[in-house]
């Protein structure tokens, strides 16, 4: 009897799904956030659905600061993070999944700051921009924004999340903010939505340090196939509409 129990336990171990632990941005609602310790958001739901279509793998989430998630993936301490935008610098240490969801970044500022400004980023020279800590300047606002910040034509400050950056505009510590058009600004009535700056896709970014993850190639192949299928079948659109 004892041998039978051990055999059953060993068989269960052999055929158990591989658990994939992804780290996600805890402060990026409605796309990715933590609520009472529970992972939520558009990307969380999309990734869960994609994994339900993949044989041999289960997904678990750990929601942390985006900057910390980047460091963990760079060092191979996490297999992947979400939802980074593509940039050349990130491609040096992460392999991007199939593009998941297109997002549009826009300018957020007080109405007086937005008035008459159509030429980005030149119209904002001499002003102070707030970005979420760890966000890529180029991904959020393009190569010209990154160049303007480097040349000190635009001053950059960073804050931990959407609310923190919006609060800095409210308190006149920053002049404008760049993020996705659908972030919640309801608690900041003086702040308005401005011009579109850039379109980006969100991805899962996988570590290039794959020694701890011998199943990486198989996982990526299957997961990319599932994401493509979800886009083709409009499943991603349906999930997004629940939030927006």
Q: At 46, which CATH number?
A: 3.40.190.10
Tell me, yes or no, whether 155 lies in a domain: yes
C-alpha 150/C-alpha 138 separation (Å) is 11
Q: What is the pLDDT along the chain (244 residues), one digit of tens a residue?
A: 444 333 333 333 446 899 999 999 999 999 999 999 999 999 999 999 999 999 999 999 999 999 999 999 999 999 999 999 999 999 999 999 999 999 999 999 999 999 999 999 999 999 999 999 999 999 999 999 999 999 999 999 999 999 999 999 999 999 999 999 999 999 999 999 999 999 999 999 999 999 999 999 999 999 999 999 999 999 999 999 999 8
Tell me, yes or no, whether 127 lies in a domain: yes
Tell me, yes or no, whether 1 lies in a domain: no
Cα 84 from chain centre: 4
Q: Give the number of domains in the chain.
A: 2
Torsion sign over Cα 201, 73, 50, 184: negative
Name the one residue in this structure whose structure tokens are 């991603």.
236
| Residue 151 lies in domain | 104-200
Tell me, yes or no, whether 7 lies in a domain: no
Q: Do 95 and 213 have their domain in common?
A: yes
Tell me, yes or no, whether 4 lies in a domain: no
Q: Count the helix, strand and coil residues of the chain and give each as a percent rounded to the nearest 5.
A: 40, 30, 35
Q: Do 135 and 163 have their domain in common?
A: yes
């Amino acid at each position: 009897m004892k041998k039978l129990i051990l055999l059953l336990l060993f068989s269960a171990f052999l055929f158990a799904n591989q658990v994939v632990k992804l780290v996600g941005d805890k402060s990026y609602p409605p796309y990715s956030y933590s609520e009472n310790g529970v992972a939520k958001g558009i990307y969380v739901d999309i990734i869960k659905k994609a994994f339900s279509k993949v044989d041999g793998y289960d997904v678990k989430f750990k929601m942390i600061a985006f900057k910390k998630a980047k460091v963990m993936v760079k060092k191979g301490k996490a297999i992947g993070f979400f939802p980074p935008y593509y940039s050349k610098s990130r491609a040096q240490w992460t392999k991007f999944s199939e593009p998941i969801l297109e997002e549009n970044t826009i300018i957020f500022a007080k109405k007086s700051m937005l008035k008459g400004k159509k030429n980005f980023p030149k119209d904002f020279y001499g002003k102070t921009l707030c970005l979420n800590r760890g966000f890529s300047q180029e991904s959020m606002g393009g190569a010209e924004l990154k160049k303007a910040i480097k040349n000190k034509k635009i001053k950059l400050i960073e804050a931990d999340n959407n609310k923190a950056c919006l609060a800095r505009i409210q308190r006149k510590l920053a002049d404008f903010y760049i993020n996705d058009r659908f972030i919640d600004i309801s608690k900041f009535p003086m702040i308005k939505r401005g011009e579109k700056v850039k379109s980006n896709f969100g991805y899962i970014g996988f570590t290039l340090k794959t020694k701890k993850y011998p199943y990486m190639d198989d996982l990526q192949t299957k997961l990319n196939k599932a994401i493509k299928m979800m886009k083709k079948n409009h499943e991603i659109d349906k999930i997004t509409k629940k939030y927006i």
